[in-house]
Structure 1
Amino acid sequence: MSQVRRWRDLRIRRRDPVDLAGPLQVRGHSVAWVPPVVLLAAIVVADYSTPGDVRVVPWAVLVPGVAATMCGVRETAVIAVLAIVTYAVVDGSWPSEYQEGPADFLLTVVGGCLATVACAFRVRRDRRMGHMRTVTEIIRRTVLRPLPPHWGGLDHAGVYLTAETEADVGGDFYDIQPGPHGTRVLVGDVQGKGLGAVEAAAALLSAFREAAHYEPELTVVAQHLEARLLRQRGRKRQLGSKDGDRFATAVLVGFPVTRRDLVEMVVLGHEPPLAVSPRGVRSLPGGGGLPLGLGELAPGPPFLHRPQLARDETLLMCTDGVTEARDGQGAFYPLVDAVREAVTRDPGLTEPARLVDFVRVGTLEHSGGRLTDDTTVFAVRRLPETGGAGEEDAG
């Protein structure tokens, strides 16, 4: 099966619960009523096809319940009435000695009423869930601003996948900020979920966009992020919030103006980036840094790494939603091995957009489309014709 087809199947599996519970449609017309009506017709045929002492028509009580799982309230009520009338007609057409009697008829009536009530609750729940998903998406789009193509002299691609939760939004974040000292990239993940995590992510992104533009040293940018998160935590404590102890893992990458053969990198409790090229995959050095918010445990500026980076190498950065994705047996997603094998087969996969799509599909496929944590995949590489310096911030 091709990657495109597998991704289409996974998208269907991960579709919003509102869509899954909503009416089935063909060319814009609802056909959700078809399965329960077909089931009712099959029950009638089976009842007439069996001997008189074997009655199938009492199964009509199941029909409204089936309708309640896929139809609207009005359709469910109509199908419940249809099942009750059908039961009365079919049962009354048999000789009296084979008739089921009023007890089963009353059961069909009660079953239809309960199915209609259950459908009303389901529709209400689905609408509420849809509203929460909409609010969550608005929040994410507000925090993660759109990035122009080739922003800061970088070819880039990113994707954010929500976990299988009803309302809690995670604190994954990423951004690119060009400036006079080169282009800087930030990818990170705030501990926890909910609006507190989003507020912390927004605060860190705001600090990054300013500091990354003006500060010549990448370690100073990291110190600005540390100070900003500490101020955010202090404000939350003063408000009496329980979010006053959040921390964040992050990786800062700088593409210097004067050196195109290397990158500057500060890793703050995060997985180091992977350098992906047609020759293979290698993990860049970057261990030892503490997460943002825990810098007081090791005073002083964080360590600056300056690894070599070839022109055809793409930096791949992922939050732990990728590396900690599990399959049915509990095994983690083998990111490095999967990317290495794929690049060996297809060297063109090193393009950021294709690489991000591959990791996205692989993560969803490995986890069966059921992510337990929000997941971000981000890839960047230098464009050959520009170093990305001197561009102005668009917002």
Structure 2
Amino acid sequence: MTRMDYGRRRRRLHVRGRSIAWLVPLLLLVAIVLADFNTPQHFRIITWIVLVPAIAATGCGVWTTAVFSLVSVVTYVAVDNAWPEEYQAGLADFVLVATGGLLAALAAEARVRQERRTLHMRDIAETTRRTVLRPLPPNFGGLEQAGVYLAADEDARVGGDFYDIQPGPHGSRVLVGDVQGKGLGAVETAAALLGTFREAAYYERDLATVAEHLETRMRRHRHLTTALGRNDGDRFATAVLIGFPEDAPDTIEVVNFGHEPPLAVGAYGVRELPSGDGLPIGLTELAGGPPPVRRVPFAADETLLLVTDGVSEARDGSGAFYPLAREVGRAVGADPGRAEPRRLVRRVRDGVVRHCRGPLEDDTTVFAVRRARGAVREAPERGRLQV
């Protein structure tokens, strides 16, 4: 990151794009000088000018702080010498002001270096987020979509929640899920599952086969982390795998790996799709294999709403859970246009934040998708490169 880039991104007080962080120490300097000239001779406060570079160090750059340090020293000498000799503050206070200015410049340098390091780490986190949760266009693969991800750790920017759409010759597929646990291990697992989904969802005709690939990938990933000496335990992931078959425009295919049941939202209300009682990815061998594929009626004017437990388990101050279905039903009943994916996601996101009235305790994902209205999507030929 260059100094120019850093300067543009620093969190300062700005007016019309220009930083005015220098205004506070400047006003303080003027106030101290005026106060010193307008107070009795035995009450000298010019020494307080040592506060000027200290204040500058909290919000200004290194060179600006150094300038304030130099101006403070020069101003101290000029104002002090303007008084009769018997009322002058003297050399000791001059050393105090000069030393304070030097320390302020050093403090500004340390603060700027730390801010650059923090911005660099945030850039890395943002790059990781965009790698795991790749940006999706509003219309992709014959689907309208909108999604929002809110990390419980604001600095981390990414966690174990994941979602994606993969168009293919057998229709578009959607995956939304939540990896058990937190930290880099959960992020790594989410990336592994998404990578497998993007390949299998494109090439495999049957959604059940895609589900099998996800289960196999989780077992392989756990085996690798164990071989590397990392104790991730029996990590698993809840998820919902959705297929939008092109030969059945009024139907979707659903494989639910122990995840929150999706909601079908339309002008006539909200209905919960069957959960399927499946086990999470990584544990399906306990049930003899992945959950079955269920074909569910899905009208052309309905929107599929999928969330992670950051929404379903969001609590207010009294411990009450966020009433997702009731709130969505009320909103769509008042305005059927709110079933549009972008408006629906925004409504749920704002509702969860208001309900919690504080920092989120878990990563939160809200994802809405529906068939694009009037869109006719040609199935890509097998073998062509797909993003």
Could you tell me the TM-score, scaled by structure 2's length?
0.82
1:237 maps to: 226
Residue 281 (structure 1) shift: 3.2
* Residue 151 (structure 2) pairs with residue 170 (structure 1): no
Q: In structure 1, the residue corresponding to 2:215 is in which secondary structure?
A: helix
Structure 2 CA distance, aligned partners of 1:39 and 1:369? 36
Q: In structure 2, the residue corresponding to 1:110 is in which secondary structure?
A: helix
Structure 1 CA distance, aligned partners of 2:278 and 2:14? 53
Q: Which has more radius of gyration?
A: 2
Which of residues 135, 144, 155 is equivalent to 2:144?
Answer: 155
Cα pair 1:271 1:319 within 8 Å, conserved:
yes
Which of residues 328, 335, 338 is equivalent to 1:346?
Answer: 335
1:206 maps to: 195
Residue 362 (structure 1) shift: 4.2
Structure 2 CA distance, aligned partners of 1:26 and 1:124? 24
* Residue 349 (structure 2) pairs with residue 357 (structure 1): no
Aligned ranges 1:42-53 → 2 under 5 Å: 42-53=31-42
1:67 maps to: 56
Cα pair 2:176 2:306 within 8 Å, conserved:
yes
Residue 193 (structure 1) shift: 4.3
Cα pair 1:154 1:388 within 8 Å, conserved:
no
Could you tell me the TM-score, scaled by structure 1's length?
0.81
Given the superposition, is the C-alpha separation of residues 288 and 112 from structure 1 closer, same or farther in structure 2, using an over 3 Å criterion? farther
Residue 323 (structure 1) shift: 4.2
Residue 104 (structure 1) shift: 4.4
2:386 maps to: 394
What is the letter of the counterpart of residue 119 of structure 2? G
Cα pair 1:163 1:375 within 8 Å, conserved:
yes
Residue 316 (structure 1) shift: 1.6
1:185 maps to: 174
Structure 1 CA distance, aligned partners of 2:271 and 2:83? 77
Given the superposition, is the C-alpha separation of residues 113 and 304 from structure 1 closer, same or farther in structure 2, using an over 3 Å criterion? same
1:140 maps to: 129
Gaps (5+ residues) in structure 2? 1-5
Residue 128 (structure 1) shift: 1.2
Structure 2 CA distance, aligned partners of 1:228 and 1:121? 45
Given the superposition, is the C-alpha separation of residues 243 and 337 from structure 1 closer, same or farther in structure 2, using an over 3 Å criterion? same
Which structure exhibits the higher relative contact order, with contacts defined as CA atoms closer than 8 Å and separated by 6 or more residues?
1
Structure 2 CA distance, aligned partners of 1:119 and 1:298? 60
Structure 2 CA distance, aligned partners of 1:104 and 1:61? 9
2:3 maps to: none
Structure 1 CA distance, aligned partners of 2:186 and 2:244? 28
What is the letter of the counterpart of residue 331 of structure 2? A
* Residue 364 (structure 2) pairs with residue 375 (structure 1): yes
Structure 2 CA distance, aligned partners of 1:319 and 1:353? 17
Residue 155 (structure 1) shift: 1.2
2:242 maps to: 253
Structure 2 CA distance, aligned partners of 1:126 and 1:317? 37
Cα pair 2:164 2:175 within 8 Å, conserved:
yes
Structure 1 CA distance, aligned partners of 2:242 and 2:350? 25
Aligned length in residues: 379
Residue 97 (structure 1) shift: 6.1
Which of residues 297, 300, 312 is equivalent to 2:286?
Answer: 297
Structure 1 CA distance, aligned partners of 2:316 and 2:81? 54
What is the letter of the counterpart of residue 210 of structure 1? E
Residue 20 (structure 1) shift: 7.3
Greater shift, 44-53 or 293-302, is seen at 44-53
2:260 maps to: 271
Structure 1 CA distance, aligned partners of 2:100 and 2:180? 47
Cα pair 1:64 1:76 within 8 Å, conserved:
yes
For residues 300-347 of structure 1, give each alpha carbon's deviation from its aligned partner in whole angstroms, at most 9, with x where no partner exists.
Answer: 331444443333221122233444556788776554444344334432
Given the superposition, is the C-alpha separation of residues 79 and 385 from structure 1 closer, same or farther in structure 2, using an over 3 Å criterion? same
2:302 maps to: 313
Given the superposition, is the C-alpha separation of residues 329 and 304 from structure 1 closer, same or farther in structure 2, using an over 3 Å criterion? same
Q: Give the fraction of aligned pairs with identical amino acids, expressed as a percent.
A: 59
Cα pair 2:126 2:157 within 8 Å, conserved:
no
Structure 2 CA distance, aligned partners of 1:27 and 1:320? 41
Q: In structure 2, the residue corresponding to 1:285 is in which secondary structure?
A: coil
Given the superposition, is the C-alpha separation of residues 295 and 100 from structure 1 closer, same or farther in structure 2, using an over 3 Å criterion? farther
* Residue 22 (structure 2) pairs with residue 33 (structure 1): yes
Cα pair 1:21 1:70 within 8 Å, conserved:
no
Cα pair 2:163 2:175 within 8 Å, conserved:
yes
Given the superposition, is the C-alpha separation of residues 308 and 101 from structure 1 closer, same or farther in structure 2, using an over 3 Å criterion? farther
Given the superposition, is the C-alpha separation of residues 349 and 122 from structure 1 closer, same or farther in structure 2, using an over 3 Å criterion? same
Given the superposition, is the C-alpha separation of residues 168 and 354 from structure 1 closer, same or farther in structure 2, using an over 3 Å criterion? closer
Cα pair 1:314 1:379 within 8 Å, conserved:
yes
* Residue 374 (structure 2) pairs with residue 385 (structure 1): yes
Gaps (5+ residues) in structure 1? 1-16
Greater shift, 225-234 or 263-272, is seen at 263-272
Which of residues 228, 234, 239 is equivalent to 2:217?
Answer: 228
For residues 95-143 of structure 1, give each alpha carbon's deviation from its aligned partner in whole angstroms, at most 9, with x where no partner exists.
Answer: 5665555554444333323322222111111111211222222222233
Residue 363 (structure 1) shift: 4.4
1:76 maps to: 65
Structure 2 CA distance, aligned partners of 1:269 and 1:92? 79
Greater shift, 348-357 or 208-217, is seen at 208-217
Aligned ranges 1:118-133 → 2 under 5 Å: 118-133=107-122
What is the letter of the counterpart of residue 242 of structure 2? V
1:12 maps to: none
Structure 2 CA distance, aligned partners of 1:114 and 1:330? 49
